[in-house]
Structure 1
Amino acid sequence: MAAPLLAFIFSLLAIASTVRGYNITKILANYPDYSSFNSYLSQTKLAEEINSYPTITLLALNNDAMASFAGKRQLSVVKKVLSLLTLLDYYDPESLHQISEGTTLSVTLYNNTAGNAPEYLGYVNITDLYGGQVAFGSAVSTLTSPNPLSKSLTTSPSSRSMLRSSLRES
């Protein structure tokens, strides 16, 4: 059942990105567990920015993670965090396990919107922990502990990917 659904979603993603343009909110609407994340992308206007990029990897947070994080923060802070979860590179589960030397830095939307964030603040450190594990963390090592990749939601080869992640605060 999951395989046909994933194939259908992949087809929709391919059509959306080639025919009508990419629309992250329409794609996320297929995932009820991410409705809060989707709503915040619209409220912060990040959806419009994300749709304009030809290559992204979105580290999506489910409703539980968003509730524990966003409910107690100002919208401007939520926007910064969501922009840090938007990588301006393409990663799918397969390519994450092929990172040379086991670790890499990826620039985020935050770096572009904040205008070259200081001290790697606008970058995410991606580490292949091997054994099927991949972790995402701040490139500024004192900010957060690594957050594991939970699963892939959807990908459009070589251009767009949505991965489920978690959010840990230190």
Structure 2
Amino acid sequence: MALNFPAGAAISGLLLIALLSTSASAHNITRILSNNPDFSFFNSLLTSTDLAAEINSRRTITVLAVSNDAVGAITGFSPDVQRRILSVHVILDYFDLDKLQNLNKHSTILTTLFQASGVAEDLAGFLNVTKFGDGRIVFGSAAPGAGVDADLVGSVAARPYNISVLQVSSVIIPPGIASVGDKSPPPAAANAPVSAKVNETAPSKAPSPAADSPVTEAAAPAPATDVPADAPAPADAPAADAPADAPEAESPAADSPKGEADEDANSGGERVVIGAGLGVIVGAVLLASL
């Protein structure tokens, strides 16, 4: 004989099952930490930065809590930077004491909520957990230059495999996390490279090559003030030197006056002789007529 259940009863049963499964997996980090007053300041920071709601929305999570006497390193930062630092303390996986003790590797890289934010640079969104031979377990940022110095103190709460709250000895602050997403340098840093660049290029651009170049100084002609006013131009210099170096025989101008003087002297002598002869002949004729 078949049993007929009303449709409303079936729907109510499904809703009850869904409600029970949701309540079984749900967790509240604020309520967990409120049971221990040593984490009251850490708990209030999770609430003020809205990280508590995001932690509660995750199905599987591990929170590295810091006690009131060690959380003071966060207080000097802005709320936005505080959120970044606190999100580094939220691991996107479940790790309790047993799971950490059974790690096969000496060091393991873990993904944090800061990496899921999309603004983490380099390895700032990852944690490095190291297990030493003496059983000591230490957490630290996986970013270059960061130290691994936040010791695991113990377990605060665990609900396998949804949420685990572990206490660490100090705040984990990745290098450069305070300036993540800020691409503009501070005013002093922004002006320094510009000034340095100007100073580097000034010597090559400021002087005029014609004024400062040793080569152009050597090739430039001598200043006009150093040359006498009546000095001949460079093009006339060879003509001025030609008479001193030219052979004497090649200078017709120098021999011309001397030749003409000799010719005139010879002509005058011949005229004197002819005149004297004529005078003798005329005198002889006159004597004969007497």
- TM-score exceeds 0.5: yes
Alpha carbons 1:138, 1:146 under 8 Å: kept: no
Give the aligned residue type for 1:126. Answer: V
For the pair 1:63 / 2:68, whether they are aligned, the reply is: yes
SS of the equivalent of 1:120 reads coil
The worse-fitting range, judged by mean Cα deviation, of 130-139 and 43-52 is 130-139
For the pair 1:28 / 2:25, whether they are aligned, the reply is: no
CA distance in 1, matches of 2:26, 2:68: 26
Q: Could you tell me how far 1:159 is from its partner in structure 2? A: 2.0
Q: Which of the pair is proportionally richer in helix?
A: 2
Give the aligned residue type for 2:79. Answer: L
CA distance in 2, matches of 1:153, 1:129: 22
For the pair 1:106 / 2:123, whether they are aligned, the reply is: no
For the pair 1:75 / 2:66, whether they are aligned, the reply is: no
Q: Could you tell me how far 1:18 is from its partner in structure 2? A: 3.2
For the pair 1:124 / 2:127, whether they are aligned, the reply is: yes
Relative distance call for 1:86 and 1:20 in structure 2 (3 A) is closer
Q: Could you tell me how far 1:20 is from its partner in structure 2? A: 8.0
Q: Structure 1 residue runs of 4+, over 4 Å off?
A: none
Q: Could you tell me how far 1:75 is from its partner in structure 2? A: 1.2
Alpha carbons 1:91, 1:161 under 8 Å: kept: yes
SS of the equivalent of 1:54 reads coil
Alpha carbons 1:97, 1:130 under 8 Å: kept: no
Give the alignment partner of residue 90 of structure 2, picking from 78, 86, 97.
Answer: 86
Give the alignment partner of residue 18 of structure 1, picking from 16, 19, 23.
Answer: 23
TM-score, normalising length: structure 1? 0.82
CA distance in 2, matches of 1:56, 1:21: 11
SS of the equivalent of 1:152 reads strand
Corresponding position of 1:53: 58
Please report the RMSD computed on the Cα atoms of aligned residues, expressed in angstroms: 2.0
Q: Which of the pair is proportionally richer in strand?
A: 1
Higher Rg of the two aligned structures: 2
Where structure 1 has 5 or more consecutive residues not aligned to the other structure, the ranges are 1-14
Q: How many residues align?
A: 153
Give the aligned residue type for 2:129. Answer: I
The worse-fitting range, judged by mean Cα deviation, of 52-61 and 123-132 is 123-132
Give the aligned residue type for 1:72. Answer: G
SS of the equivalent of 2:137 reads strand
Give the aligned residue type for 1:91. Answer: F
Deviations 1:95-141 (CA, angstroms, capped at 9, x unpaired): 1111122221110000111x162222100011111322101011114
TM-score, normalising length: structure 2? 0.50
Q: Could you tell me how far 1:85 is from its partner in structure 2? A: 0.3
**Structure possessing the higher relative contact order (Cα contacts under 8 Å, 6 or more residues apart):** 1
Corresponding position of 1:151: 154
Equivalent pairs: percent with the same residue? 36
The worse-fitting range, judged by mean Cα deviation, of 34-43 and 97-106 is 97-106
For the pair 1:133 / 2:136, whether they are aligned, the reply is: yes
Alpha carbons 1:58, 1:162 under 8 Å: kept: yes
